[in-house]
Amino acid sequence: MRRPLAHQIKVGLLLALVLLLVNALVSYRNIRRLIQNERSVTHSQQVLAELEETLSTLKDAETGQRGYLLTGNENYLQPYKQAIAQISASMDSLTKLTADNPNYEQPLYILQQRITAKLDELQLTIKLRREQGFDAAVRVVRTNRGRQIMLNIRQQIAEMKDMEKNLLQQRAKESQASTQQTLLTFSIASSVNLVLLALVYYLFKHNQLQSEQEKETLEKRVSDRTLQLQSANDELEAFGYTVSHDLQAPLRGMHGFAEALLEDYGDVLDELGKEYTRRILISALRLEDLIQDLLAYSHLSRSELPLKVIDLTQLLSEVIKEIQPDIEEKQAEIKIQSPLPQVIGHHSTLVQVITNLLLNAMKFVKVSVRPQVQVCAERHDNWVRLWVADNGIGIAPEHQQRIFRVFERLHGQETYPGTGIGLAIVRKGVERMHGQVGVESQLAQGSRFWIDLRSPDDSATHNIASRR
């Protein structure tokens, strides 16, 4: 291969690698911004729901007061008493939810004052009815003071809901803009990467054709290679048409081309060129894994999960069969304390959760240590706690909450490869099944991960799962 051509190929591969890394960083930033925007949208929806709940609670209190004034029967005060107990909690919740927005400070204060005035008016009429009779209470009601206070409360809540709806629309627009920006930047960078790889392929083709023309004995090989390259160009064209619609197709294309470079032209690449090609392969695989995990995390966040009774013994058997190649590769020993109890959950989500926990248990061990994993379960109240214990490197106490967040990693990619989303998927999946997850660990003493799920013995939860 001529020296200038080899240099051009190196430059092309290096540019493709750099652009892929830049694309990964930009996509990572945009996706984190998108996740934050979605959290903000959820936060606004919680504020709107709490405002509606506050108004509903006041209506219940007023209903109880009216029933008592008309009948004098203490039983009618039950909704009033319940509302009095709930209104304080609702206001505390509103205060916490709006603490990050100073624009709510004055409206929330006014709402608090009006609610206090309304509760005082209700209490006064109830006291008059109890001590002085129906007429005394009705005289206060006929002043229309209570009605005016309630109208003011409705108006104040309506204004606060309008504020939050405007904020919700703004956050929704920002979320949509982040999504479009992510798709646009990814598509553009992926297209440029494909063009660079196509250029490298073209340079190889040009050099191969020149060499083959000087060797008549290799004429058939030239013909076959030309057909292969034409097929590759056709595939590249197809990728170009679909790149704006499919985020994963460009990654698969780059991965395939890089493999072809190593397999078909490994004898003409120098070590530096091969290293660049291997880095493209590794980077493409990492980004593909990242996209798959992000899609899985997003799917868990949005999709409906119909819950049903699941036999953990049978489910663990399915998981072990699925990850058997990983077990054999790691020479791991997995012990399951059978029989395991039944739980309320979603089958495919629970398979994903337990698969991630077992793969983590086998991965985070010292090089010279054979992974040993123990799985057992215990009951407490109406819950089942499933334990996954390992003999790995352990986790420091200060990091035991961080590891369940998205993109949180405690070790370098070279030491323990991964996307940093596996345990976030575990946490999200368990939470969507109305459960909890945690870990007990010390450095160099292994880790014991646990998940809590409802037991079928819990009749309320079982009824909900049956209806679904």
Last residue of a domain, one of 247, 273, 302: 302
Q: What is the pTM of this model?
A: 0.41
Judgement on whether residues 269 and 140 belong to the same structural domain of the protein = yes
Task: Domain count for the chain, please give it.
Answer: 2
Judgement on whether residues 277 and 379 belong to the same structural domain of the protein = no
Last residue of a domain, one of 262, 281, 302: 302
HEC string for the chain:
CCHHHHHHHHHHHHHHHHHHHHHHHHHHHHHHHHHHHHHHHHHHHHHHHHHHHHHHHHHHHHHHHHHHHHHCCHHHHHHHHHHHHHHHHHHHHHHHHCCCCHHHHHHHHHHHHHHHHHHHHHHHHHHHHHHCCHHHHHHHHHCCHHHHHHHHHHHHHHHHHHHHHHHHHHHHHHHHHHHHHHHHHHHHHHHHHHHHHHHHHHHHHHHHHHHHHCCHHHHHHHHHHHHHHHHHHHHHHHHHHHCCCCCHHHHHHHHHHHHHHHHHHCCCCCHHHHHHHHHHHHHHHHHHHHHHHHHHHHHHHHCCCCCEEEEHHHHHHHHHHHCHHHHHHHCCEEEECCCCCEEEECHHHHHHHHHHHHHHHHHCCCCCCCCEEEEEEEEECCEEEEEEEECCCCCCHHHCCHHHCCCCCCCCCCCCCCCCCHHHHHHHHHHHCCCEEEEEECCCCCEEEEEEEECCCCHHHHHHHHHC
Last residue of a domain, one of 276, 302, 328: 302
Domain of residue 248, residue span: 1-302
Per-residue pLDDT of the chain (468 residues; tens, 9 = 90+): 445 666 777 777 777 778 777 777 776 776 777 677 667 677 778 888 888 888 888 888 888 888 888 888 888 888 888 888 888 888 888 888 888 788 888 888 898 898 888 888 888 888 888 889 888 888 888 888 888 988 988 898 888 888 888 887 887 777 777 777 777 776 786 777 677 667 766 666 766 666 666 676 667 776 776 666 455 444 433 433 344 345 556 666 776 777 777 787 777 778 887 787 777 776 666 556 556 655 655 665 666 788 999 999 999 999 999 999 999 999 999 999 989 999 999 998 999 999 999 998 998 898 889 999 999 999 988 999 999 999 999 988 888 888 888 767 666 556 676 667 788 889 999 999 999 999 999 888 899 999 999 999 864 445 544 444
- Indicate which CATH number applies to the domain containing 429: 3.30.565.10
